[in-house]
Amino acid sequence: MTTPRTRGGRWRRSLGLGLVAAIALGACGPRFDERTASGDLATPEVTRRPGVPAPTARPAEPAVPAVPPPLVTDDEVRFGLLIPVTGAAPVPDTFDRGVNAYIDVVNERGGVRGRKVRILIEDTQSQAEVAKDKAKKLIEQDRVLGIVALDRLETHDALIRYLDPRRVPNVHLQTPAGLPAERRWTFNITIDQGEQGRLVADYFVKALGARRVAIITENTPLLAPGRRQFLRRIRRLGAQVVYERRVEGQQTEFATEALALSQRRPEVVWLYMAPTTAASLANQTEEAGFHPTWFANSISWGFNLTFSVAPKALRGARAFSPWLPLDDPRTRAYQRAYRRMNPGAEPDDLGIIGWGIGRILVEAARRAGPDLTRDSFRAAMQNLDFRADVWVPIRFGPGVRTGTRSVAVLRERNGRWVLERDFTTRF
């Protein structure tokens, strides 16, 4: 569904969410089952670092039907936003309120070269096939300039395979590891999964001083590159992996894992999984009498809301994040705009994500020049070197599909995430 329009060009949706559903934001992280997205190309694991062009020797794409050009007028430009509004794990509406807050600010100031920006939100239902159908609608009926996606990792994979051959700019908050260079229309604005695995190992050993570590991963193939790179790097650094385990995304009982952790006593544990799964596992381990330092990777459970269901168990947790915590002074512009656009509502860290996405889209549209086409927008994204107020620094270039190698490091303090270390690429 396309959300109903409200004042100032904003788009809203109403969604009743219980606490558990709100926590299940695995749309913002790896919360998915073992199904893999269908597609015409396999996604190989590669170990190149983001920022380095990938090899280009791959099978040619099959022919795809031409798509209509975007509907860009003198007065308006449209973008599509694909997120799970319903389904197994819907994203709370504070996320798109954050997008709308920034778009309202831009439109009040005249838009992009005189064009008002419209964001059309479509519900993926956390299903890859539904997401492709909604992408088809956005490009063929709504004729958007480009599409942004925030969903399950395999949904991103399916969308890349669908949109890239059709020459539609598509921007993602997470992608499978090692996007090949010839995916010229695809842009990832968070750290590569494989690169992150190595960086997590460096953080554990060099920053936390850990010598005994553990990793528990949701059982899905697309997380394998991050897990493997972590294990290789941690052993190379001389630390010991005392426990490694894979769990199911819908699993709720973790007595076996809790017992093993309490017996093997790692100092820090990477929970490479969705918020609900992570909170349940941490709670049950706490009940078993063991409290390590829990760790959340980028785009997983690094949200203040997570502490509502595991306030004691997740005390002292750490996280990588592509955005700043709500308490950071650099989020004040977002918070002011959010309150002004949503009277009576208080901003949260989910809205920060939407605000950051809005800033990146608008900046690329501005740099695309007065003749705004998919080609000019793609070129602007490909050369984008930009630091938004709340987001990791973005820097693309020829052949570069992942525009950042940076993360912020957060830590829990009094039931909220606070900044431990500003955006960095190394420890």
Q: Please name the residue ranges forming H helices in 211-348.
A: 224-236, 255-264, 275-287, 332-341
pLDDT for residue 172? 96
pLDDT for residue 126? 87
Please indicate, yes or no, whether residues 62 and 178 belong to a single structural domain of this protein: yes
**What single string gives the DSSP state of each residue in 257-273?**
HHHHHHHH--SEEEEES
284: left (phi over 0), alpha (psi -120 to 50) or beta: alpha
Please indicate, yes or no, whether residues 110 and 16 belong to a single structural domain of this protein: yes
Q: What is the CA radius of gyration of the chain?
A: 21
Q: Please provide the average confidence, as pLDDT, over all residues in the chain.
A: 87
The tokens 């229309």 sit on which residue?
A: 185
Residues 6 or more apart whose Cβ sits within 8 Å of residue 32: 26, 126, 152, 153, 154, 155, 218, 220, 249
Please indicate, yes or no, whether residues 208 and 356 belong to a single structural domain of this protein: no
- Mean pLDDT over 375-381 rounds to 98
201 CB neighbour count, 10 Å cutoff? 26
Amino acid at 184: R
Please indicate, yes or no, whether residues 244 and 129 belong to a single structural domain of this protein: no
Please indicate, yes or no, whether residues 200 and 169 belong to a single structural domain of this protein: no
| 121: pLDDT strictly greater than 50 | yes
The tokens 């031409």 sit on which residue?
A: 66
Number of structural domains, the chain? 2
In a domain, 349, yes or no: yes
The tokens 């512009």 sit on which residue?
A: 333
C-beta of residue 269 within 8 angstroms of C-beta of residue 381: no
Range of 117's domain? Answer: 7-190+329-405
Please indicate, yes or no, whether residues 286 and 390 belong to a single structural domain of this protein: no
Nearest to 26 by CA among 286, 314, 301, 356: 301
- Mean pLDDT over 283-294 rounds to 98
End-to-end distance of the chain based on CA atoms, in angstroms?
A: 44
Give the DSSP H or E segment for 171: strand 170-172
Confidence of residue 227 (pLDDT cuts 50, 70, 90): very high
In a domain, 89, yes or no: yes
Residues 6 or more apart whose Cβ sits within 8 Å of residue 30: 152, 153, 174, 218, 220, 222, 223, 272, 273, 274, 299, 300
pLDDT for residue 60? 55
Please indicate, yes or no, whether residues 200 and 100 belong to a single structural domain of this protein: no
In a domain, 275, yes or no: yes
- Tell me how far apart the alpha carbons of residues 356 and 389 are, in angstroms, rounded to a whole number: 8
pLDDT for residue 94? 77
- Tell me how far apart the alpha carbons of residues 113 and 367 are, in angstroms, rounded to a whole number: 10
Please indicate, yes or no, whether residues 271 and 357 belong to a single structural domain of this protein: no
pLDDT for residue 62? 62
C-beta of residue 356 within 8 angstroms of C-beta of residue 391: yes
Please indicate, yes or no, whether residues 317 and 342 belong to a single structural domain of this protein: no
Domain at 105, CATH number: 3.40.50.2300
Please indicate, yes or no, whether residues 131 and 226 belong to a single structural domain of this protein: no
In a domain, 163, yes or no: yes
| 46: pLDDT strictly greater than 50 | no
In a domain, 353, yes or no: yes
Q: What does the block give as tokens for 310?
A: 């595991």
In a domain, 1, yes or no: no
In a domain, 2, yes or no: no
pLDDT for residue 210? 98
In a domain, 201, yes or no: yes
| 87: pLDDT strictly greater than 50 | yes
According to DSSP, residue 60 is labeled P
Please indicate, yes or no, whether residues 355 and 378 belong to a single structural domain of this protein: yes
Distance of CA 391 to the CA centre of its chain: 12
Confidence of residue 61 (pLDDT cuts 50, 70, 90): low
- Tell me how far apart the alpha carbons of residues 282 and 265 are, in angstroms, rounded to a whole number: 14
Please indicate, yes or no, whether residues 223 and 311 belong to a single structural domain of this protein: yes
| 354: pLDDT strictly greater than 50 | yes
Record the pTM: 0.85
pLDDT digits (tens, 9 = 90+) for 126-166: 899 999 999 999 999 999 999 999 998 889 999 999 999 99
